[in-house]
Amino acid sequence: MRRHVLCWMCGCLFWALAAVAQTVDVEQLECLPLEENAAITASVGGAEAGSSVHLFFRRLNPVGGFYSVQAHPAGGGGYWTTFPKPEDREQHELTDDWWEVLEDRDWMEGHDRDWLENWLEDQEYEAAEYYIAVIGVDGSVAARSDTRLVEVREDDDCDTEELDRMQQGWAQNLTIGETTPEQQGGPVFHWLCDGIVTRINSEGIYRADEYCRACVVGYIPMAAFAAGVISGAIIEHDPPFIPPPPPPASPVQP
């Protein structure tokens, strides 16, 4: 009897330690270049076999939800992916309703409403939020990073590393995950269509991007083939996932 109890306790301890070991930290970007792609890196510890890592992102706007794009392993617990291209949009001023949504954001720690109002007034373009999440095989959130805030600036005023050939190929063939049913059939809210070719709806079902394909003629750069990163196999063999519920974006969805 005592042996069975000891084994049960050891098993519980093992799974508790395994859960604690799942850690996620995402790079704090200084800025995103306006109408250009940017790469992002993250470190993930203790991810279980079969899980996947995703970047969740949105523009800092009173309406609109998060979207996602899958991240690729880089070895040693590192991951990378790219943002779509931020559209040229003006930053909204803070309202009472919007403040109630934003005041509990991770990036608001140590700041107050006055700081946020001043920060928003200084933004020439609409900023963005993002975080990295590990999605288990059952579609649940196994671990996630804090939510980060980042400015959007003119390309020549945003000192980011140039994308390598693999990142360029990925950025021109993005599969965007939706987190709400309302996002299906519309634009990726305040992000350019350039490079977006596939969507995953909030139920985890893949489809060709009907909105962006109607706006631009998609193409696959030869550099992407040379890098060996873009093929039908990527879309066909990545397991569908159910996007996790993101932090509340606003009382209204577009």
| Phi and psi angles of residue 56, each rounded to the nearest 5 degrees, phi first | -110, 135
> Mean of the pLDDT values across residues 10-21?
44
Do 42 and 145 form a contact (C-beta atoms < 8 A)?
yes
What residue type is 16 in one-letter code? A
50 occurs within a structural domain: yes
Task: Tell me the DSSP string of 213-236.
Answer: HHHS-----HHHHHHT--SHHHHH
Residues composing the chain: 254
Closest CA to 235 of 212, 209, 254, 211: 209
| Digit-coded pLDDT (tens) for 115-155 | 999 999 999 999 999 999 999 988 889 999 999 999 999 99
Edge-to-edge strand ranges of the sheet holding 39-45: 23-26, 39-45, 78-82, 72-75
Distance CA 122, CA 126 (A): 10
Q: What pLDDT was estimated at residue 225?
A: 32
Of the candidate ranges 21-25, 77-81, 97-101, 197-201, the one whose mean pLDDT is the lowest: 21-25
Q: What pLDDT was estimated at residue 209?
A: 94
Distance CA 250, CA 238 (A): 31
Average pLDDT over the chain reads 83
Residues contacting residue 181 through CB under 8 Å, at least 6 positions apart: 201, 202
Do 127 and 92 form a contact (C-beta atoms < 8 A)?
no
132 occurs within a structural domain: yes
7 occurs within a structural domain: no
Q: What pLDDT was estimated at residue 16?
A: 42
For residue 167, the enclosing domain spans 23-237
Q: Which two tokens stand for residue 230?
A: 């873009």
Distance CA 145, CA 148 (A): 9
Return the half-sphere exposure (C-beta side, CA atoms, 13 A cut-off) of residue 48: 16
The number of domains in the chain is: 1
| Digit-coded pLDDT (tens) for 158-174 | 998 899 999 999 999 99
Provide the CATH number for the domain around residue 197: 2.60.40.10
Q: Predicted confidence band at 247 (pLDDT cuts at 50, 70, 90)?
A: low
3-state secondary structure of 160: coil
Q: What pLDDT was estimated at residue 181?
A: 94
33 occurs within a structural domain: yes
Regarding predicted confidence, which is higher, 236 or 58? Answer: 58
Of the candidate ranges 16-30, 88-102, 195-209, 231-245, the one whose mean pLDDT is the lowest: 231-245
> Mean of the pLDDT values across residues 32-50?
93
Q: What pLDDT was estimated at residue 48?
A: 83
200 occurs within a structural domain: yes
171 occurs within a structural domain: yes
> Mean of the pLDDT values across residues 18-33?
84
251 occurs within a structural domain: no
43 occurs within a structural domain: yes
Task: Tell me the DSSP string of 104-126.
Answer: TSGGGTT--HHHHHHHHHT-SS-
